[in-house]
Structure 1
């Protein structure tokens, strides 16, 4: 079928198998160009492995240190006349490339919050790898059914205490407008957001993996977070999502106690603002990123997800490095984003931004390209008017 992008707001409803394969190849080529990560992980579990930082982590582990990888995610398979999700196609392309390179790569598709998927993962590790020496936790979901209580929790994106008004942009049209978001109305909404996006499920995963004996001596586990600039604090870091991120970061202490007898360690890595399916949904953030991209590209310090993860592995976690932590015990690979000179220039652009001057003073085009790249579109070497086979299978998943 011929697959073109169909967009509804911040969601692209279609994805292109050839384009996503190109996106995967570009990331693989980057990691390979950076050379081997010495003393890197060899057997890796990535929870939330099909898009964004989780996918980039899987690619970095595989092609940076030759790691065998198991990926867990929840994606929609392709069917005749119906394209699969981008994450499905991403994983199919990754596994195809990995297998051709002689690398072990298998995947599990299902609700990673559930006990059943945790057990399937444990069974696969036992059967094929024995143990894993790195566990990446990179789940992004708007809802979670609690595996112990059966209660369905839904997250909300709201400020706490007072309403928030600031600029935002429709990144498809380039129209800047003001947006006002009312504060969360009850404590239950905050608790639900923490239940979905906090650290409890990460803790459940590590508990069950350890109990099953599939965590190696010296195991590392890493989850991802974000802080961002002050202008996004009301909607992000000081809002409901921020409460969930606080909970995620506080889980490090619990996990370090749990892993002590294995000489294991857990980290939260604070990453840079980037175009992801999740960040596109947050008001204000797309406009901020369009200015951030312009400033960082002009300074020659821009990074995408794969550059961020390669740097995290090569400069922080491995190569005989012990990561420097901030005052709250977090790894910071948002250090270039948060440089004072970068933030000052972004703030100056923010103050003078209008619909009329946006194309000139921002990198809104780069934002759009990155957004559509997530779904396999806007690659110059792909003919999007040509027929493509939408039914692409993931080699390790039996349909």
Structure 2
């Protein structure tokens, strides 16, 4: 037994421990946002979700289990409890596995490096034995590094502008919760840093998964796959869409076009889904984006859609005969964010920012709560002064 009181210690947005009960409750609240279908599906589709333990990948998994009755496999790489608690994704996976059981889904979870060829082989063995084929592959991976199993080289991603330095406001919080607004100047990326970021966050690994499925004959007729992307506001474009991350997202979109030519043989399609802003660990680590998200929430209030609400829309698009695509063939779930009135209102607030006015213009209480909830803290209905068991087993894939 490893019961103890778990506290949110750490530095900045990075916390050292995760709270099991808070993570369980967060998954429960996410599940409550998804309406079950009026009629169960005639056939349970088989889905492979890569990056299923957090952010949009978690939301896609929960929406698929509850609303679309998916079977299949989720993959993520999480750390078990030791000197510290397990990672938040470890606990969220336990809670999501309970949803799968309650939904009657044959859906298992693997704790493995999605970039490794051994993970691909073992996962495809499982899919072939249990289901005989795959209908959907959802790719939602946000990793700081990737070791290419074929070259042995480890590539590390960076968050930097391209071409010239960039200055932006960065939102931080003191230990007592007070908001701090600091100016951050970022040097431009080198060509090697940009290339490494594309190797980590671009489409190469996504393409390798599709190739592995095709080589094993596991792509069902009408197979569809989607990788998640983001464009964001012109206010953040220098560090995001026009920066190193944006270069990786362009590669992801080019990969979708190449995959479409290969998937034609099974009547399949590959898409990128441009989702709207959401509070995630990747977002909190990107300068300027936390402040932008707080301002966006200040403008929209409760009209700011959650990741699982957007994920239900994504499943609706993927299962439609004719998804709603933009001129580049992308699924667009960010129209609410990039509408002219919303962006005009956010821009007005951004231009009025000072360290004194930030608390009036941005919903900082919401943003801080959301960022701490990534680790299971500040979740409604959880007693944080009560000892909890931290050493919990990964759900058995068998």
Q: 1:39, CA displacement in angstroms?
A: 8.0
SS for the counterpart of 2:279 is coil
Q: What is the match of residue 318 of structure 2? A: 317
- C-alpha change, 1:294 and 1:38, in structure 2 (3 Å) is farther
Instruction: Describe how 1:75-94 pairs up with structure 2 within 5 A.
Output: 75-79=78-82, 82-94=84-96
Q: What is the match of residue 369 of structure 2? A: 369
1:36·1:64 contact (CA, 8 Å) conserved in 2?
no
Given candidates 216, 220, 223, the residue that maps to 1:216 is 220
Task: Give, in whole Å, the separation in 2 of the partners of 1:175 and 1:34.
Answer: 45
SS for the counterpart of 1:218 is strand
Q: 1:326, CA displacement in angstroms?
A: 1.4
TM-score scaled to structure 1, two decimals?
A: 0.94
Task: Give, in whole Å, the separation in 1 of the partners of 2:16 and 2:100.
Answer: 27
Task: Give, in whole Å, the separation in 2 of the partners of 1:393 and 1:235.
Answer: 39
Given candidates 290, 294, 318, the residue that maps to 1:290 is 294
2:63·2:312 contact (CA, 8 Å) conserved in 1?
yes
Given candidates 158, 161, 180, the residue that maps to 1:159 is 161
Q: What is the match of residue 234 of structure 1? A: 238
**Runs of 5+ unmatched residues, structure 1:** none
Matched, 1:49 2:52: yes
CA RMSD of aligned residues (A): 1.7
Given candidates 180, 184, 199, the residue that maps to 2:203 is 199
Q: 1:33, CA displacement in angstroms?
A: 5.8
- C-alpha change, 1:35 and 1:13, in structure 2 (3 Å) is farther
Instruction: Describe how 1:318-333 pairs up with structure 2 within 5 A.
Output: 318=319, 320-333=320-333
Instruction: Describe how 1:1-399 pairs up with structure 2 within 5 A.
Output: 1-32=4-35, 42-79=45-82, 82-172=84-174, 173-184=178-189, 186-297=190-301, 301-314=303-316, 316-318=317-319, 320-397=320-397
SS for the counterpart of 1:62 is helix
Cα displacement string for residues 164-217 of structure 1 (whole angstroms, at most 9, x for unaligned residues): 012121145311121110111x31111111100100000000000111112211
- C-alpha change, 1:40 and 1:237, in structure 2 (3 Å) is farther
Task: Give, in whole Å, the separation in 1 of the partners of 2:281 and 2:110.
Answer: 21
TM-score scaled to structure 2, two decimals?
A: 0.95
- C-alpha change, 1:7 and 1:397, in structure 2 (3 Å) is farther
